[in-house]
Chains A and B, each alone.
Chain A
Amino acid sequence: GDSVTQTEGQVALSEEDFLTIHCNYSASGYPALFWYVQYPGEGPQFLFRASRDKEKGSSRGFEATYDKGTTSFHLRKASVQESDSAVYYCALVRSSGGNYKPTFGKGTSLVVHP
């Protein structure tokens, strides 16, 4: 079945550090890939998506590039802020034959210290 693996369970950084959260997926064909951010007490917020090889998604200074060769969609940000502290989820959606099923990774908790 489809799966999403986020390598880091927790990431601790200082403000202005560079962020990378790794996301690898396993699915047939060309699934759409997503990043979500979730703040305490809230539902996941859509950041961006990509659906083709080499397509880059971006929002709020975060970006990720769809890489079918390495089956990855790593999240990056050049300079994090304390307000970026949250849980980040990578997800994939494969739509085939009318079967639409979103699959989420286990999330990466980001803590940014001032």
Chain B
Amino acid sequence: GALVYQYPRRTICKSGTSMRMECQAVGFQATSVAWYRQSPQKTFELIALSTVNSAIKYEQNFTQEKFPISHPNLSFSSMTVLNAYLEDRGLYLCGARTVNERLFFGHGTKLSVL
């Protein structure tokens, strides 16, 4: 079956520092990866869409300078949160898109900022 591993599951970083999260598709080829942040109110904010060999598309209010993404092949993507502050807290989710247009998510990375 299609599985998406995301790690770490949770992380705590000091204000102003950076953290990197990784997303691995297992059992399928991820044609695209969507990175989301889920707020405490449980709403989904789309950060960016990443497709191998294409430019990464960032949504309004999110930039490459703040959330650089690497997507080197069809099974792996990573995103870094640079200079994290309190407003960056939340559950970061990666959704991997399959060739038959399904979107599978990992467990998420819960980011806490001190």
| Chain B residues within 8 Å of A103, by CB | 46
| Closest beta carbon of chain B to A89's beta carbon, Å | 8
Number of contacting residues on B, CB 8 A? 23
| Chain A residues within 8 Å of B6, by CB | 43
Interface of A is mostly: strand
CA distance A38 to B43 in the complex (A): 12
| Chain B residues within 8 Å of A98, by CB | 54
Question: What 17 new A-B contacts, CB under 8 Å, besides A41-B107, A43-B93, A91-B103?
Answer: A34-B103, A42-B107, A42-B108, A43-B6, A43-B107, A43-B108, A44-B93, A44-B95, A46-B102, A46-B103, A93-B103, A100-B32, A100-B97, A102-B46, A103-B46, A107-B42, A107-B43
Partner of B49, one of A41, A89, A100: A100
| Closest beta carbon of chain B to A101's beta carbon, Å | 7
| Chain B residues within 8 Å of A44, by CB | 93, 95, 105
The verdict on A106 contacting B93 (CB below 8 Å), with A34-B103, A43-B105, A46-B103 known, is no
6 contacts between A and B (CB under 8 A): A32-B101, A41-B107, A100-B49, A100-B97, A107-B42, A109-B42
Is A101 a contact of B42 with CB atoms below 8 Å?
A: no
Is A46 a contact of B104 with CB atoms below 8 Å?
A: yes
Number of contacting residues on A, CB 8 A? 26
| Chain A residues within 8 Å of B107, by CB | 41-43
| Closest beta carbon of chain A to B109's beta carbon, Å | 10
User: Does residue A3 face the partner (Cβ distance < 8 Å to B)?
Assistant: no
Is B103 a contact of A106 with CB atoms below 8 Å?
A: no
Is A100 a contact of B51 with CB atoms below 8 Å?
A: yes
Residue ID in chain A nearest B108 by CB atoms: A43
| Chain A residues within 8 Å of B46, by CB | 101-103
Q: Which of B77-114 contact A (CB under 8 A)?
A: 93, 95, 97, 101-108
Partner of B43, one of A43, A51, A91, A106: A106
